[in-house]
């Protein structure tokens, strides 16, 4: 549908046909009350020159924008929701210009890949390559394929349809809203249908991950660090359409990290995680070792490592128990460690 077609439809017709058009009018501060019968063009023409100047309103731009918005929403709503099944990294060059030796590496949904390497080695650059679906046009000259094919460039620029969701270390909530209001807002921007159920599900899962439970009516800014992380993970896993999740080290405090990861995987995501924590690194199926800007090695977690994982988890569990005891105001004794 072109801008002229939209311009010639009555506002009522547009709102009936495209329920999402309401938010466009709202966000552009266009008050319709009682003018639904006008066509969009008539409505925009109903402002005097002075009013239009006051509102900094350009009818042509609004019409063009409205058309673009409707097109974007239609294609967003019409899309198959889970169309990413694999991600392939084709080798590029390290910082000295030397060819990376791994050839090609494919990650499938449901896999966890850890990324390890010293500071400045190029971990973030690798994550950046994935987010930008690099086509040999970044400093590393790597190429990223989706489902084995050259990707659609929509991944680079779409706001509703990002390839990658990120959870990073020092994230916070800054909005002045309760947990429920906040999730409602997010669900709205994602255009989900069964909003209520989804919000309940997110809160339940978040409470399952968090050390301490929280209420839906609590302001998000007053959640503890652990609760915030739990809510972010639960929300990202359930509401974000992005098939790939990048994690910059999930902090230990107040959240069950193993549960969090398996929860993300249960939502058919690909998880890439920069970490130095042995438990998390070994939870991954494979780990990418970065050195000097290049992928130096790709190591599959060995059987032996997996068996060590049990011990590491046991130690981790003990520390968690100690933490829980401290929280409860108990006095720790040597036997608390058993």
Partner 1 sequence: MNLVTVSGPPSSGKTAVILKTIESYQKQEISVGVIKFDCLYTDDDIVYEKAGIKVRKGLSGGLCPDHYFVSNIEEAFAWGQKENFDVLISESAGLCNRCSPYIKDIKAICVIDNLSGINTPRKIGPMLKSADIVVITKGDIVSQAEREVFASRVSMVNPKAIVMHVNGLTGQGSFELGTLLYDKKLDTDNLKGKELRFSMPSALCSYCLGEKRIGADYQMGNVRKINLEK
Ligand X SMILES: Nc1ncnc2c1ncn2[C@@H]1O[C@H](COP(=O)(O)OP(=O)(O)OP(=O)(O)O)[C@@H](O)[C@H]1O
Interaction site with partner 1 (CB under 8 A): 23-24, 26-29, 53, 56, 58, 61, 64-66, 68-69, 72, 124, 128, 132, 137-139, 156-157, 159-160, 162, 165-168, 170-175, 182-183, 185-186, 189-190, 228, 232, 235-236, 239-240
Q: Which is nearer to ligand X, 91 or 237 (CB)?
A: 91
Strands 244-248 and 270-274: parallel
Round the CA-based radius of gyration of the chain to a whole number and report it: 24
Q: How far apart are the first and last CA of the chain?
A: 68
Q: Which of 69, 125, 234, 283 binds ligand X (CB under 6 A)?
A: 125
CA distance 106 to 219: 41
CA distance 97 to 305: 33
Q: Which does 121 bind (CB under 5 to 8 A by kind): Mg ion, partner 1, ligand X, none?
A: ligand X
SS3 235: helix
Strand partners, 90: 104, 143
Q: Which of 273, 279, 265 is nearest to 318 (CA)?
A: 279
Q: Which does 251 bind (CB under 5 to 8 A by kind): partner 1, Mg ion, ligand X, none?
A: none
124 scored as a contact of Mg ion (CB under 5 A): yes
User: Considering the complex, what minimum distance in angstroms separates the CB of residue 232 from ligand X?
Assistant: 20
User: Considering the complex, what minimum distance in angstroms separates the CB of residue 127 from Mg ion?
Assistant: 8
Q: Which of 120, 188, 266, 319 binds ligand X (CB under 6 A)?
A: 120
Inter-CA distances, 172 with 204, 225, 226, Å: 20, 8, 11
User: Considering the complex, what minimum distance in angstroms separates the CB of residue 101 from ligand X?
Assistant: 13
Taking CB under 6 A as the criterion, which residues in 276-295 touch ligand X? Answer: 293-294
SS3 151: coil
Q: Which is nearer to partner 1, 41 or 323 (CB)?
A: 41
Q: Which of 117, 151, 243, 254 binds ligand X (CB under 6 A)?
A: 117
CA distance 169 to 250: 7
Q: Which of 95, 154, 286, 323 binds ligand X (CB under 6 A)?
A: 95
Q: Which is nearer to ligand X, 138 or 325 (CB)?
A: 138
* Strands (DSSP E) found in 218-275: 244-248, 270-274
Q: Which of 65, 47, 64 is nearest to 56 (CA)?
A: 47
Residues at the site binding Mg ion, with contacts judged by CB under 5 A: 124
Chain residues binding ligand X by CB under 6 A are: 93-95, 117, 119-125, 139-140, 293-294
């Amino acid at each position: 549908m072109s801008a002229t077609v939209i311009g010639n439809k009555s506002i009522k017709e547009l709102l009936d046909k495209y329920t999402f058009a309401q938010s466009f009018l709202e966000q552009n501060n266009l008050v319709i009350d009682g003018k639904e019968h006008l066509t969009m063009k008539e409505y925009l023409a109903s402002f005097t020159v002075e009013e239009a100047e006051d509102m900094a309103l350009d009818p042509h731009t609004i019409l063009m924008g409205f058309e673009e918005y409707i097109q974007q929403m239609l294609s967003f709503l019409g899309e198959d929701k889970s169309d990413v099944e694999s991600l392939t990294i084709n080798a590029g060059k390290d910082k000295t210009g030397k060819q990376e030796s791994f050839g090609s590496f494919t990650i499938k949904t449901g896999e966890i890949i850890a990324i390890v390497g010293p500071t400045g080695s190029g971990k973030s650059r690798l994550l950046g390559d994935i987010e930008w679906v690099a086509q040999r046009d970044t400093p590393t000259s790597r190429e990223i394929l989706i489902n084995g094919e050259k990707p659609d460039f929509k991944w680079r620029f779409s706001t509703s349809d990002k390839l990658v969701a990120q959870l990073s270390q020092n994230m916070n909530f800054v909005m002045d809203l309760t947990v429920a209001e906040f999730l409602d807002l997010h669900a709205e921007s994602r255009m989900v249908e069964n909003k209520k159920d989804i919000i309940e599900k997110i809160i339940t899962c978040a409470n399952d991950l968090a050390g301490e439970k929280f209420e839906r009516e609590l302001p998000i800014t007053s959640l503890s660090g652990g609760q915030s992380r739990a809510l972010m993970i639960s929300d990202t896993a359930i509401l974000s359409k992005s098939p790939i999740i990048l994690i910059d080290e999930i902090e230990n405090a107040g959240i069950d990290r193993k549960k969090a990861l398996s929860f993300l995987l249960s939502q058919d995501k690909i998880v890439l995680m920069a970490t130095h924590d042995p438990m998390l690194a070994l939870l991954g199926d494979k780990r990418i070792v970065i050195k000097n800007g290049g992928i130096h090695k790709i190591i599959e977690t060995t059987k032996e490592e997996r068996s060590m994982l049990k011990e590491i988890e046991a130690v981790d569990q003990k520390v968690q128990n100690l933490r829980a005891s401290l929280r409860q105001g108990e006095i720790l004794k040597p036997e608390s460690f058993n």
